[in-house]
Homo-oligomer: A and B are copies of this chain.
Amino acid sequence: MSEITIAIDAMGGDNGCEPIIDGLIQALDEAKFKAILVGNQDEILSYLPQYYLDAIEIVHCEDVISMSDAATDALKRKESSIFQAVELVRDGKANGVVSAGHSGATMTLATLRIGRLPHVNKPPLATLMPTNAGSKSLLLDVGAVTDCKPRNLYEFAVMGKAYAQEVMGISRPRIGLLSNGEEDSKGNDLTKETFPLLKDITGFVGNVEGRDIFNGSVDVIVTDGFTGNIVLKTSEGVASAIIDLMRQNIKKSIPAKIGALLMKRKVFTNLKKQVDYAEYGGAPLLGVNGCAIISHGSSNAKAIKNAIFQAIKFANSDINKKIEEALEEHK
């Protein structure tokens, strides 16, 4: 493939095809790549403007894995859009896949059908978090591997570092182990056993705390998928509670309402942009022998567009080669 080709699962998102097709169109307007849209052809054609038909290949399939289906069934549902989209990467017909469908199914399929890189035991899901320094930090795992062994966390650190270097463009990423205190002695059994392993990785800064995810003091934060998922949802919960409380307070006062209007464009719109996951794209599943970007089920067009850009950047990078080399060295 001379040009990057991205397979996009058109189905399975919370809001149907429309935001996914809109996002793809926006991406095609801004960047040069080849797109394969996988899903129900009739539905796709009802949303896709004629004009884009030449630029997009459609792979029709009948089945859709819905959010209530079990991830374990994904392997059997060979006619599902996500199975077919992943298969395009497996078969070398696409460089990366983007899906806003069932994330468990996507992770299972990407891991088992595309396959893992050598020496990767369990691929982690990584997500970008906003910081008050304007930079982004990478948190992993956020839900792929709920029960981890020290070796898993070691591999997450290696893969997170490679992503930071090759995709985020941070030449010397600082890597922290998420713990309940900064001192070396802090942690649970898992992190205490992991700590000495991470000392082998250049850039390891030791234990970091929950607040360090958001203050720009570290680039890559390593944790197990149970804790990482809770951290992710806690962050979303705090942000939306603060916004809710502010709204409630604004409603109660006329000066505050006027104040809010004056602050709208330069403060609230900016803030929304700074913390909105749609600006970040999706979550890459690292350590698979290809590229898989998992988007929020409720992704809007902008989130899909950015997830596609993320997939292109990933596919254009040397990340998988770097992961292989680093793990080969410390297998």
* Chain A residues proximal to chain B, CB less than 8 Å: 130-132, 143, 146-147, 178-181, 187-189, 191, 209-215, 223-227, 229-242, 244-246, 248-250, 252-253, 255-256, 258-264, 266-267, 270-271, 274-275
A274–B241 alpha-carbon span in the complex (Å): 11
- In this complex, which of A132, A225, A234, A262 has the most chain B Cβ atoms within 10 angstroms of its Cβ? A234
> Given the complex, which residues of B lie within 8 Å of A241, measured CB to CB?
130-132, 214-215
Nearest 9 CB-CB pairings of A with B? A259-B262, A211-B237, A210-B233, A210-B234, A259-B263, A180-B229, A253-B266, A214-B241, A132-B244
Cross-chain contact of A231 among B189, B225, B230 (Cβ < 8 A): B230
> Given the complex, which residues of B lie within 8 Å of A259, measured CB to CB?
258-264, 267
> Given the complex, which residues of B lie within 8 Å of A130, measured CB to CB?
241, 245
Cross-chain contact of A275 among B213, B232, B242 (Cβ < 8 A): B242
> Given the complex, which residues of B lie within 8 Å of A146, measured CB to CB?
180, 187-188
Q: A130-B241, A223-B230, A245-B270 are in contact. List 19 more A-B contacts (CB 8 A).
A: A132-B240, A132-B245, A146-B187, A147-B189, A178-B230, A180-B225, A180-B226, A209-B233, A210-B234, A211-B233, A211-B240, A214-B241, A226-B227, A252-B266, A256-B267, A259-B259, A259-B262, A259-B264, A263-B263
Given contacts A241-B130, A275-B245, contact A187 B226 (CB under 8 A): yes
Copies in the complex: 2
Cross-chain contact of A266 among B212, B215, B238, B256 (Cβ < 8 A): B256
Cross-chain contact of A267 among B191, B225, B249, B261 (Cβ < 8 A): B249
A300–B264 alpha-carbon span in the complex (Å): 33
A249 adjacent to B237 (CB under 8 Å): no
A47–B47 alpha-carbon span in the complex (Å): 73
Cross-chain contact of A143 among B180, B212, B237, B239 (Cβ < 8 A): B180
Cross-chain contact of A180 among B189, B230, B236 (Cβ < 8 A): B230
> Given the complex, which residues of B lie within 8 Å of A178, measured CB to CB?
230
B188 adjacent to A210 (CB under 8 Å): no
Cross-chain contact of A215 among B147, B179, B232, B237 (Cβ < 8 A): B237
A262–B262 alpha-carbon span in the complex (Å): 9
> Given the complex, which residues of B lie within 8 Å of A187, measured CB to CB?
146, 226
